[in-house]
Amino acid sequence: MAIADRIAAGEDPQSARLAAIKEFGNVLQAQEEARQVWRGGGVAALIDVWQDVRFGLRMLFKNPGFSLVVIGVLTLGIAGNATVFSLFKGLALKPIPGVQDSGSLAVMLSRTGTARPLGLSLPDYRYIREHDRAFVDLAASCMIFASAGLGADAERVTAELVTGNYFQALGVNAQLGRVLLPSDDVAPGQHPVAVISDGLWKRSFGADRNAIGKTVYLNGLPLTIVGVADPKFQGTVVSMVMDVFAPIMMQPQLFPPDRLEQRSAGMMMTIGRLRPGVTVTEAGAQTRVLAAQLDASNPIPNVTTRAAVVPIWQSPFGAQTYMLPAIAMLGVMGVLILLVVCANVANLVLVRGVSRRGELAVRLALGASRSRLLRLLFVENLVLAIPGALGGLVLAAFLVPFISLSTTGSAPSSVYLDTTVDAYVMTFALVLSGLCAIIFGFAPALTTSRVEIVTLMNDVSPRMAARGRLRAMLVVSQVAASVVLLVGAGLVLRSYSAARHADAGFDARQVTSMAIDLQTAGYDERRGLVAINRFLDAMESDPAFDRASLAAYVPLSLVDTAPRAITIEGYAPRSDEDLAFLHNMVGPNYFQTLRIAIVAGREFTRRDDSDAAPAVIVNETLARRMWQTPENAIGKRLRAGTGEWREVIGVARDVKYARLPEEPRPYVYFPLLQSYVPALTIHARAVNDTAEALKLVRQHVRTLDPQIPIVRSVMLAEQTRVALAIYQMAAGAITMFGVMTILLAAIGIYGLVAYSVQQSTQEIGIRMAVGAGRGDVVWTFLGRGTTLAAGGAAIGLVAATALSGAIRSLLYGVNPRDLVSFGSATAVVMVIALAASIVPAWKASKTDPLSALRHR
């Protein structure tokens, strides 16, 4: 229309067209604005974003070297965090495989005056379930270790004795047959039925679909199999694999004595799903009212908190108790390494942005706004981040087994965590990649989008110094974070080393740990005691062994034994004092076999049998707590529960009973020949050849009775390595993070020095032209790299000193401010800085002065 008007006014067509276009302005921008009007804002925005995505993909393939480095760096950071998140998921978000939304379950428990956690008694559970209004339903269970099968084919399994509504409350079905029902939980001993796990079904019954109706023997008691549980379901104790589920009403027969109606027997782990809209705090307030009613009518001595409610990840029953603190520490380190990744990638993106100033200036000249440029740059960063997330997921799938407790050699076969890379982990990785794109792209995008067309046309770069300072700050920050990570790695690795060589109070070298079960071989107490004495006679006559004994429990198994209430003669406990102590039933020569020192009195002998006066041995902590000195304890009396009074005949040195970091605590040893249990572990100390020790002990058991099952056969040193599981897991993860940190720090420093060399080409030429030698040039750029590294290391050391106390609970035998760990981390970072700087510095020294002076 403008052209037509001008032609009508007498101008020639070409002049009219040129004048109209000049008057109109940016035609292309007007066309784009018109299209937006016709398409609508939302559709136009989506089309623009899609165009940015396509452009980002083209740029990704156009610069394969840059893209591969960025994706590789992101892959490392996201893989490390996804690995830690998969462990967290298995402990807190999906702690019970096979149960929908198991992370939202809540657990009910009691606590003593010393904060020792207890389950609920069966009468308390029934009362609370009947009157509770906070839960959809409440189920309860009791975990036991038992023997499945009879004779030589029996195996040691973990079982749960459960209430009749257990499977219904959890929403778990059977893959074959049926689950346990409330009708199976009516009267004690009346319903000897069981549901077996998918694993036991396959191991013992060959996945026979006709297994329903057959018999499984648990602790020698025949139970009719009514169902096979869902393959994913492992039970409700986090990380523990349950093989058999039997009605709680079978407890007196399966695991005597009868504790079903004892209100002081806090054996039931109570679990349930909260009603919609009810929080854990509100549920706890409601149960406190019910607990107060129980306290008024049926008080329990020493129990100060009755029926508290906690989310399942805070439950003291399961691996989350001792693993979550380690996972939290690894999570913090994962965040630090992610910051290193973002700083590294930001450096790379910033360098790339400098080379694209011309392109961005053209976009501005064509009418693009700064916000439009920012969106383009963020989309490009996202296009880089998503492949990094996918690569991180693939790498995490390989890294998880490397640090997972369920696959470490020290973990028992009954341990399982759901650490699979599933939708939870995938969502986490994708969200993390998006955050990374925002974090590492923010500063470079702001800097790069500030393009001044005039200065660019004049080839002037006023902000190069500012960009150099920004890159230097990013390198300093990632070096500082690397120092913090490496200090943490040093502390944990030294803790692992200290734990491996720790003095647990006993000597596990050359000692067997062979578990047998006399009950499944048909032995009652009388015949069992005869068999024990015959076995000890055979071992004493074998010159291959120095000492031999038996015990009910193995030390350093991570799991506390069930405490027993102890009464001290002449001692009146406070109302809130907890006198329930850990215990063990041990045979003659037990302390000599494990080389546990007797600091007062004597140890058990063959004479401490059922015909002798009842005896007991206590540890030093208990002796000093009750009688001030070990010597004063000798001759004093105590009893377990309502049992007979026993005389203290010895005081044993304190040892580590369940975990290495535990504080000294009271412990009581009962003589096995007076306190018979059928499930025992043989400890025999070999004189020389440990390779033959297990074989020889096995031969003695077979000679005694071929039908006695050997349910576990390892050396005690191997068995007690389970106590190192947490340190081993943390050491594996820390090693992974340490390797990543070293690689990332090297990439960051190399990139900065190389970029500095590139930007200083003319300066190098001038200096060499006026007489500077190659060595001077090398030292100049080495100094730049090491100076930045030294500054970052100093900041990192200060931060590590401030943060080291936070991981004190995860350390063993190492000071949180250990000079070796701090010094090693500093040395490693400085060596990395030197190695990463020397290559570009050496290349700088090879610069030709004439070519450099012509460089622009």
pLDDT at 503: 86
pLDDT at 514: 94
pLDDT at 45: 66
pLDDT exceeds 70 at position 797: yes
The mean pLDDT value for 572-593 works out to: 91
pLDDT at 465: 44
pLDDT exceeds 60 at position 209: yes
292 confidence band (pLDDT: 50, 70, 90): very high
| Cis status, amide bond into 257, omega within 30 of 0 | yes
Start-end of H helices in 97-195: 122-131, 166-170
pLDDT at 302: 80
The Cα angle at residue 161 between residues 115 and 216, in degrees rounded to 5: 145
Minimum mean pLDDT among 389-393, 457-461, 754-758: which range? 457-461
pLDDT exceeds 50 at position 283: yes
pLDDT at 409: 47
**Backbone phi, then psi, for 797, in 5-degree steps?**
-65, -40
Share above pLDDT 70 across residues of the chain, in percent, rounded to a whole number: 90
Structural domain for 252, as ranges: 120-316
CA distances to 80, 114, 604, 633, 845 from 568, rounded to whole Å, are: 53, 18, 20, 11, 83
**pLDDT tens figures, 125-143:** 999 999 999 999 999 999 9
Look at residue 716 and tell me if it is in a domain: no
Could you tell me which of 649, 647, 667 has the C-alpha nearest to residue 658? 667
**Mean pLDDT highest for which of 207-221, 344-358, 464-478?**
207-221
pLDDT exceeds 60 at position 231: yes
The mean pLDDT value for 743-752 works out to: 75
pLDDT exceeds 80 at position 249: yes
Which residues, 6 or more positions from 393, have their beta carbon under 8 angstroms from its beta carbon? 78, 79, 82, 421, 425, 426, 429
Look at residue 74 and tell me if it is in a domain: no
Could you tell me which of 356, 347, 344 has the C-alpha nearest to residue 444? 347
The answer on 353 and 238 residing in a single domain is no
The answer on 475 and 601 residing in a single domain is no
196 confidence band (pLDDT: 50, 70, 90): very high
pLDDT exceeds 80 at position 322: no
- Cβ neighbours, 10 Å, residue 357: 18
Look at residue 518 and tell me if it is in a domain: no
pLDDT exceeds 90 at position 769: no
Number of domains into which the chain is organized: 4
Look at residue 60 and tell me if it is in a domain: no
pLDDT at 694: 92
- The strand pairing partners of 204, in sequence order, are none
Look at residue 87 and tell me if it is in a domain: no
The answer on 493 and 352 residing in a single domain is yes
The answer on 307 and 408 residing in a single domain is no
330 confidence band (pLDDT: 50, 70, 90): confident
pLDDT at 762: 66
The answer on 382 and 267 residing in a single domain is no
Assess contact for 686 and 700: CB atoms under 8 A: no
Domain boundary pick from 297, 316, 335? 316
The answer on 665 and 574 residing in a single domain is yes
**C-beta contacts of 622-631 below 8 A and 24+ residues apart:** 622/581, 622/666, 622/667, 622/668, 623/648, 623/651, 625/666, 626/568, 626/571, 630/599, 630/600, 630/601, 631/600
pLDDT exceeds 60 at position 155: yes
The answer on 303 and 329 residing in a single domain is no
Could you tell me which of 294, 249, 264 has the C-alpha nearest to residue 120? 264
Look at residue 27 and tell me if it is in a domain: yes
pLDDT at 690: 76
Give DSSP secondary structure letters for 329-349: HHHHHHHHHHHHHHHHHHHHH
How far is 218 from 148, CA to CA, in rounded Å? 5
Domain boundary pick from 644, 677, 706? 706
The one-letter amino acid code at 686 reads A
Minimum mean pLDDT among 364-378, 465-479, 626-640: which range? 465-479
The mean pLDDT value for 18-39 works out to: 75
**pLDDT tens figures, 675-734:** 999 999 999 999 987 778 999 999 999 999 999 999 888 999 888 877 777 777 777 777
The Cα angle at residue 443 between residues 472 and 840, in degrees rounded to 5: 35
- Cβ neighbours, 10 Å, residue 466: 12
Q: How far is CA 544 from the centre of its chain?
A: 42
447 confidence band (pLDDT: 50, 70, 90): low
Characterize 549-571 residue by residue with b for buried, 16 or more Cβ atoms within 10 angstroms of its Cβ, and e for exposed. Answer: bbbbbbbbbbebbebbbbebeee
Could you tell me which of 373, 367, 351 has the C-alpha nearest to residue 446? 373
pLDDT exceeds 90 at position 59: no
242 confidence band (pLDDT: 50, 70, 90): very high
pLDDT exceeds 70 at position 75: yes
pLDDT exceeds 70 at position 86: yes
Domain boundary pick from 674, 706, 738? 706
Counting Cβ atoms within 10 Å, is residue 178 exposed (0-12), middle (13-18) or buried (19+)?
middle
The answer on 337 and 312 residing in a single domain is no
pLDDT exceeds 90 at position 65: no
Q: Is the dihedral of CA 217, 221, 226, 232 positive or negative?
A: negative
The mean pLDDT value for 7-31 works out to: 83
287 confidence band (pLDDT: 50, 70, 90): very high
pLDDT at 76: 85
The answer on 758 and 692 residing in a single domain is no
Q: Token match 């195996």: residue?
A: 155
373 confidence band (pLDDT: 50, 70, 90): confident
The answer on 741 and 648 residing in a single domain is no
513: alpha, beta or left, given left = phi > 0 and alpha = psi -120 to 50? beta
189: alpha, beta or left, given left = phi > 0 and alpha = psi -120 to 50? left
The answer on 363 and 439 residing in a single domain is yes
**pLDDT tens figures, 395-413:** 888 877 766 654 444 444 5
Prediction pTM value: 0.79
How far is 77 from 340, CA to CA, in rounded Å? 8
3-state secondary structure of 597: coil
How far is 548 from 680, CA to CA, in rounded Å? 13
- The strand pairing partners of 195, in sequence order, are 227, 245
pLDDT exceeds 90 at position 758: no
pLDDT at 194: 97
Which residues, 6 or more positions from 432, have their beta carbon under 8 angstroms from its beta carbon? 78, 81, 82, 338, 389
The answer on 841 and 702 residing in a single domain is no
Assess contact for 816 and 804: CB atoms under 8 A: yes
pLDDT exceeds 90 at position 104: yes
End-to-end distance of the chain based on CA atoms, in angstroms?
A: 48
The mean pLDDT value for 760-767 works out to: 69
- The strand pairing partners of 513, in sequence order, are 714
Look at residue 90 and tell me if it is in a domain: no
pLDDT at 410: 46
Look at residue 220 and tell me if it is in a domain: yes
Strands (E), 379-464: none
- Cβ neighbours, 10 Å, residue 723: 23
